[in-house]
Amino acid sequence: MTKIKLVTDSTAYLPIDFVAKHGIKVVPLKLNWDNDTFRDNVDITAQAYYQRLEESNTIPTTSQPSSGDFLTAFKEAANGADALVAVLISSGISGTVDSALLAKKEFNQVPLEVVDSKVTAAGLALMVKAMAAATEKGGSVDDVVKMGNRVFDSMGVYFVVDTLKYLHKGGRIGGASAFLGSALDLKPILYLSPEGKVEALEKVRTKKKAVSRLIDLAVEKAGGKKARVGIMQANAMEGAQAIKAELEKRMDLAEIEIYELSPAIGTHTGPGTLGIAVHTTEY
């Protein structure tokens, strides 16, 4: 049986025990803050990040892992593996896939596939989980990649931010820029487009209505099928728990979990962000 190992990046923010159980190699993005550089979820946790953000006058910038970072990670992951599949944050919002593809040119230990997930955060986590299940069943590299594609085809990723300030400053705002300069009480509902970019879906008058609409969108996306759901929160656990309770009433769930947004993603969305990733692919 072919032993396939998965590689992903820190924006998936997968539970540590899941990463350990499945032997997944996680490559961290980086945060550059004043004179400090942090590896996402290695040198700085989400909790420490939001605490510092509250006390800081500056907002950090983020940078993708270098091709050298990926080459090192691929070499380490190849030990005991027959092939690698790297599934990474959308190329529509990060250059991480480009770095991995550069590293691939120099890597020849075992076959390697680099997959642009076109999603991130809980969306990426749910994709990695499905692909890990495919590796556990002894699937080929092609089977594992196809599983990721099937998950993407049935997935929706929706979120609401407290302010567009962070997305605007980080240059990740895409089609949501149409909402800049709107009245302060308008809460834009954003989504990841099929191309993996942050786009505007609609604007709602209050945060409460926006969260209610998020829930409706997830329910509509599932279409009555058994669904897997990842709820995203950036320093907003209470809101995430309320979403979870509501979805448990309204959906047929195979899985539902709350995921923190990693510091690298939280830098662009800002604190208070809530979101839902949902897919209906069976495995």
Contact assessment for residue 91 and residue 98, using Cβ atoms and an 8 Å cutoff:
yes
Q: For residue 168, what pLDDT band results from cuts at 50, 70 and 90?
A: low
The answer to whether residue 209 scores a pLDDT higher than 70 is yes
Which pLDDT tens digit goes with each residue over 81-136?
999 999 999 999 999 999 999 999 999 999 999 999 999 999 999 999 999 999 99
pLDDT digits (tens, 9 = 90+) for 213-248: 999 999 999 999 999 999 999 999 999 999 999 999
Q: How much is the pTM?
A: 0.93
pLDDT value of residue 131: 98
Task: Tell me the pLDDT tens digit for each residue of 243-277.
Answer: 999 999 999 999 999 999 999 999 888 899 999 99
Which runs of E-coded beta strand occur in the chain? 4-9, 25-27, 30-33, 36-39, 61-63, 83-88, 112-116, 156-160, 187-192, 198-204, 227-233, 253-260, 274-279
Q: In sequence order, which residues have a C-beta less than 8 Å from that of residue 201 and are 6 or more positions away?
A: 158, 188, 189, 190, 191, 217
pLDDT at residue 269, rounded to an integer: 85
pLDDT confidence of residue 139: 93
Domains and their CATH numbers in the chain: 4-153 (3.40.50.10170), 156-279 (3.30.1180.10)
Q: What is the pLDDT of residue 181?
A: 46
On the question of pLDDT at 176 being above 70, the answer is no
How far from chain centre, in Å, is Cα 80? 27
Contact 132, 22 (CB under 8 A): yes
186, pLDDT greater than 90: no
Residue among 228, 217, 231, 233 at smallest CA distance from 272 = 233
| Residue 6 pLDDT | 98
Q: Which of 219, 229, 234 is nearest to 267 (CA)?
A: 234
Question: Are 2 and 144 in contact, with CB atoms under 8 Å apart?
Answer: no
What pLDDT is attached to residue 205?
82
Give the model's pLDDT for residue 202. Answer: 87
* Bridge partners of residue 36, in order along the sequence: 33
Token pair belonging to 206: 């209050």
